[in-house]
Chain A
Amino acid sequence: MQQDYVYPSIYFSYFLFALLAGGALYFFVRSLKHGYLSHDSEEPKYRMMHDEEGSSHE
């Protein structure tokens, strides 16, 4: 009798969905703790304006 993998494959995909949703939630909370949505969250945009002066041709 041929094995039916339809539901295991769908459960696998749901597992990946859950893993991603859980991961996103975890890192979202961590980003809040690190101040990404606070008053100090604008600093990276100024820093990146002068980040490439050391580029060289090899």
Chain B
Amino acid sequence: MPEETSNLAARRAAAGDSTAVVHADTTAKWFLISSIAYFFIVGIIAVTIAAKFVWPSLLGSVQYLTYGRLRPLHVNGMLFGWLLAADMGLTFFMIPRLCGVKLWSEKLGVATAALWNVIILSAVVCLLLGINQGLEYAELPLALDVLVVIAWIMFGANIFMTVASRKYDQMYVSIWYIMGTILWTAFVYLTGNFAVLFATGTNQANLNWMYVHNAVGLIFTPVGLAIAYYFIQKSSNMPLHSHKLSMIGFWALAFVYVWTGAHHMLHGPISQWLQTIAIAFSVMLLIPVWAVVYNFFATMKGQWHQLKDNVPLKFLMSGVVFYLLTCFQGPMHSLRSVNAIVSKTDWIPGHAHMAVLGAFSFFAIAGTYYMIPRVYKTRLFSDALGNWSFWMLMMGGLGFFVTLWLGGFWQGWQWNNPAIPFIDTVVALKPVWIVRFFSGILMFVGIVLFAYNIMATILGAKDRPEAAAA
């Protein structure tokens, strides 16, 4: 065994605290349970949209069920109803433990969860009614944007006050990423949902794409990595390869990510210098990404056999691989020559789904599988079902990503040939969209199995006490 591992017990004992803190975890439970419900409901919307690509007349002309109404509902539902809510729930689980204290205010946390549910349910109604600002990822009406800001202030205050009362001086890297997420989200959300309303034309588009890219890069990436840094160590029971390297990755992301959004406007009517800056910073993203991924792989050195029986670890390490791939694609897309082919094609949803589903949702699912049995003092309802949920999401996800990359690349080549009528390029993609639909079915089955497993774990918690666990 490595020397570092042999000294682990002694260092753990030296670093530990004998006084156990009792965590209520009420807020974490609220967020997790509601987010899983949205994951399931919005999953139905996702499959419906995928079916509409294959059968465009599906559901007729009912205005509430048209593609234009359902697509923003799918995007906002998955991003804010499922993923961000799940991430917030996991944050409420991690932060008190990492700080060695109770959550600053469980009541404020529950109020935040309640407000978040009001926002999501209102968003569903507004988007189905067609009340939509018409901006990508910022479709929610202004009143709901204001509520999101209030909820985020409540969330941020609770987390920062907990961190401020921590027992330990040095903070684990997950705390850094979560604090970064809270501050960056405030900036990204204000720009993307308020400042953007006062701009017009190209300037508005540029601000909007800055928001869209940073919604992934400065909201879902840092909180997703916070979750990965916490649960990979916990699930594998192995210390991180290098905490110093994790901090280098954090600061590299902090200084680099914010400038990349304009790569969505390449070949568009914005300044060449702005495009070049976005390209340069996009390529520099390889530094924090590789620092993070190397750290995770090195942590797992000699421990890969654990993936066989460890459901959370399966999701976590697959998520790391997807994170590596998606963050290799991103800088490559930002090169002008590659962008000229793949931009605006089906390649992009393939790429985006690998980031949001393949990487960050996998991290959130892993955290949920780890957290729920522990906070309910029980065992997981079924490891076999957990494995099935993994394989359904993995197979469906791979089918979806790969098909859209191939189809998108093909679509891009067709678009670059002015001799091909546009409608021919639409008809040509039908086989791609059929595979996309069936891949979506597999992913949805994975979501159903995951949701059922978690709900059965919670509802049957008293029948399977933790003490009976092996």
Residue tally, chain B, CB below 8 Å to A: 59
Do B8 and A46 touch across chains, with their CB atoms under 8 A apart?
A: yes
Choose from A10, A45, A57 the contact partner of B243 (Cβ within 8 Å). Answer: A45
Stretch at the interface among B131-139, B333-341, B369-377: B369-377
Contacts of B377 in A (CB 8 A): 55-57
Shortest A24–chain B CB gap in Å is: 5
Chain B 224-238 interface 0/1 with A at a Cβ cutoff of 8 Å (1 = within): 000000100110010
Do A55 and B25 touch across chains, with their CB atoms under 8 A apart?
A: yes
Q: A12-B195, A42-B243 are in contact. Are A48 and B233 (CB under 8 A)?
A: yes
Contacts of A41 in B (CB 8 A): 170, 243-244, 247
Stretch at the interface among B183-191, B280-288, B428-436: B183-191
Contacts of B24 in A (CB 8 A): 56, 58
A12 to B375 CA separation, bound complex (whole angstroms): 43
Q: A19-B187, A42-B242, A49-B233 are in contact. Are A13 and B195 (CB under 8 A)?
A: yes
Contacts of A10 in B (CB 8 A): 195, 199, 203, 207
Q: Give me the 4 closest cross-chain CB pairs, A-B, nearest first.
A: A54-B20, A5-B198, A47-B15, A9-B198
B251 touches A (CB below 8 Å): yes
Q: Closest B-chain residue to A49, C-beta based?
A: B12
**Which residues 1-27 of A have a CB within 8 angstroms of B?**
5-6, 8-10, 12-13, 16-17, 19-21, 23-24
Shortest B442–chain A CB gap in Å is: 34
A51 to B233 CA separation, bound complex (whole angstroms): 12
Contacts of B174 in A (CB 8 A): 48
Do A44 and B198 touch across chains, with their CB atoms under 8 A apart?
A: no
Do A54 and B21 touch across chains, with their CB atoms under 8 A apart?
A: yes
A57 to B372 CA separation, bound complex (whole angstroms): 11
B129 touches A (CB below 8 Å): no
B324 touches A (CB below 8 Å): no
Question: Besides A16-B191, A21-B258, A41-B243, 6 other CB < 8 A contacts?
Answer: A12-B195, A13-B210, A43-B15, A46-B14, A49-B237, A57-B376
Contacts of B11 in A (CB 8 A): 43, 46
Q: Which size bracket describes the interface of A in this complex?
A: 35 or more
B171 touches A (CB below 8 Å): yes
Shortest A5–chain B CB gap in Å is: 4
Do A6 and B243 touch across chains, with their CB atoms under 8 A apart?
A: no
Residues on B close to A: CB < 8 A?
8, 11-12, 14-16, 20-26, 97-98, 100, 168-174, 183-184, 187, 190-191, 195-201, 203-204, 207, 210, 230, 233-234, 237, 239-240, 242-244, 247-248, 251, 254-255, 258, 374-377, 461
Do B183 and A37 touch across chains, with their CB atoms under 8 A apart?
A: no
Shortest A25–chain B CB gap in Å is: 8
A36 to B258 CA separation, bound complex (whole angstroms): 23
Do B191 and A34 touch across chains, with their CB atoms under 8 A apart?
A: no
A54 to B172 CA separation, bound complex (whole angstroms): 19
Q: Closest B-chain residue to A53, C-beta based?
A: B20
Most chain A beta-carbon neighbours within 10 Å: one of B98, B198, B230, B240:
B198
Q: A41-B243, A57-B377, A58-B26 are in contact. Are A51 and B184 (CB under 8 A)?
A: no
Do B207 and A44 touch across chains, with their CB atoms under 8 A apart?
A: no
A52 to B454 CA separation, bound complex (whole angstroms): 20
Contacts of B461 in A (CB 8 A): 57
A17 to B190 CA separation, bound complex (whole angstroms): 12
Choose from B15, B169, B374 the contact partner of A52 (Cβ within 8 Å). Answer: B374
Do B244 and A44 touch across chains, with their CB atoms under 8 A apart?
A: no
Q: Closest A-chain residue to B21, C-beta based?
A: A54
A13 to B204 CA separation, bound complex (whole angstroms): 11
Choose from B21, B199, B210, B255 the contact partner of A5 (Cβ within 8 Å). Answer: B199
Q: A13-B191, A45-B233, A55-B22 are in contact. Are A50 and B244 (CB under 8 A)?
A: no
Contacts of B200 in A (CB 8 A): 6
Contacts of A20 in B (CB 8 A): 183-184, 187, 258
Q: A13-B210, A55-B375, A57-B375 are in contact. Are A47 and B198 (CB under 8 A)?
A: no
